[in-house]
Amino acid sequence: MPSTQFEQRAMRRALELAATPGVPLGPNPRVGCVLVDDSGRTVAEGFHRGAGSPHAEADALARAGGSARGATAVVTLEPCNHTGRTGPCAEALVEAGVRRVVFAQRDPNPVAAGGGATLRAAGVEVDAGLLEDEARALNRVWTFAVDHQRPFVTWKFAATLDGRSAAADGTSRWVSSAAARLDTHRLRALCDTMLVGTNTVAVDDPRLTVRDEHDRPLAEQPLRAVMGERDLDPGRRVFDGVPGESVHLRTRDPHAALAELHALDRQHVFLEGGPTLAAAFLRAGLVDEIVAYVSPMLLGAGRQAVADLGITTITDALRPTVTDVTVLDGLDGEAPNVRLTMTTQNRTET
């Protein structure tokens, strides 16, 4: 049975619930659920608030009580079919007497998938795919990590018009504008891992924290990861433990580093290392998104934004697809910077 007009409205509301601000980053997807009766009246709503908390369906069922019997559950992701920190939502919907379930995205996680089949076997009507594109966009990083068994990688860099990230004498403060740096912290807050190489830590001693416009660290911080085999001074700021955790990945292999982070349930890596680390990930085909801040200045010499990629002819150039161009207005008299957001050709769409 095709979805009705009121089910479409309910799904849009479920997507809004799933995107509720303040839900912490974590290994679980963002999910919303709306229970409606045959007249289209909302019986109850729910959404998932992070790992360990009730799933969206369980949240809505608890709010509905006995009113859930005979209702339609409209949910952004296929109800789970396994027991983790919480019980399987498919069974909870059956036990509550829900008559029909409409979900947007099929669960790509083989551990949790199969909820739709369980519901059908119990006599519940099931319709899949309503507003699926919107649901997948909401959980694009989680879906990618599940499908590819590695974190999604965003490489961020700042450069001059001629592609320099530092002057010939090594100075780089500041290639980017204050507005660009503040925007970078906004993007950092959307990731669960910051990643740099050991050379960046040894030379620059970065904090790798997410900070507000007053340079104060936010309460929620990504994992600070350092990649490389060399020993580092434990007094470097990335290892200070306040705020957030840190880890030293003792490998130079991007594949191995991402495998370790995936094992730690990390899904979105924000790559902010130097040109050598960026080149290693690009050559391995492990950069999925590029965010470039371009400053209106010329240096003519100095450190390049990325090291040798092994490309010797123009026909072999990497050609990322531009998805957004934003001009960031200058603060305190600074010249505006341009933020380019791009996807790479190696990324498999999900």
DSSP per residue, 1-37: -PPPHHHHHHHHHHHHHHT-TTPPP-SSPP-EEEEE-
Tell whether the torsion through CA atoms of 52, 56, 57 and 59 is positive or negative. positive
pLDDT digits (tens, 9 = 90+) for 220-236: 899 999 999 999 999 99
Third-level CATH fold of 146-343:
Dihydrofolate Reductase, subunit A (3.40.430)
pLDDT computed for residue 2 by the predictor: 59
Tokens, residue 185: 């912290």
CA nearest to 154, candidates 300, 343, 318, 19? 343
CA nearest to 248, candidates 99, 315, 236, 154? 236
Contact between 305 and 165 (Cβ < 8 Å): yes
pLDDT at 331 over 90: no
pLDDT computed for residue 330 by the predictor: 77
Share of the chain above pLDDT 90, in %: 80
pLDDT at 112 over 80: no
pLDDT digits (tens, 9 = 90+) for 280-309: 999 999 999 999 999 999 999 999 999 999
Q: Which CATH superfamily is domain 5-138 in?
A: Cytidine Deaminase, domain 2 (3.40.140.10)
d(CA 57, CA 135): 16
Each domain of the chain, given as residue ranges in start order, spans 5-138, 146-343
Q: For residues 165-177, give the mean pLDDT.
A: 86
Share of the chain above pLDDT 70, in %: 97
CA nearest to 260, candidates 247, 278, 279? 247
CA nearest to 48, candidates 11, 86, 10? 86
pLDDT at 3 over 80: no
d(CA 258, CA 288): 13
16 is catalytic: no
Which H/E stretch holds residue 101? strand 100-105
> Residue 333: pLDDT band by 50, 70, 90 thresholds?
confident
Average pLDDT of the chain?
92
pLDDT at 93 over 80: yes
pLDDT digits (tens, 9 = 90+) for 118-157: 999 999 999 999 999 999 999 999 999 999 999 999 999 9
pLDDT computed for residue 84 by the predictor: 73
pLDDT digits (tens, 9 = 90+) for 176-196: 999 999 999 999 999 999 999
5-138 and 146-343, same CATH topology: no
Q: Which amino acid is present at 99? A: R
pLDDT at 348 over 50: no
> Residue 1: pLDDT band by 50, 70, 90 thresholds?
low
According to DSSP, the β-strands at 321-328 and 193-197 are unpaired
pLDDT at 350 over 50: no
Among residues 45, 57, 272, 289, which one is catalytic?
Answer: 57
More confident residue, 217 or 242: 217
> Residue 172: pLDDT band by 50, 70, 90 thresholds?
confident
Q: Which residues pair with 328 in a beta bridge?
A: 337
pLDDT computed for residue 349 by the predictor: 39
Contact between 99 and 106 (Cβ < 8 Å): no
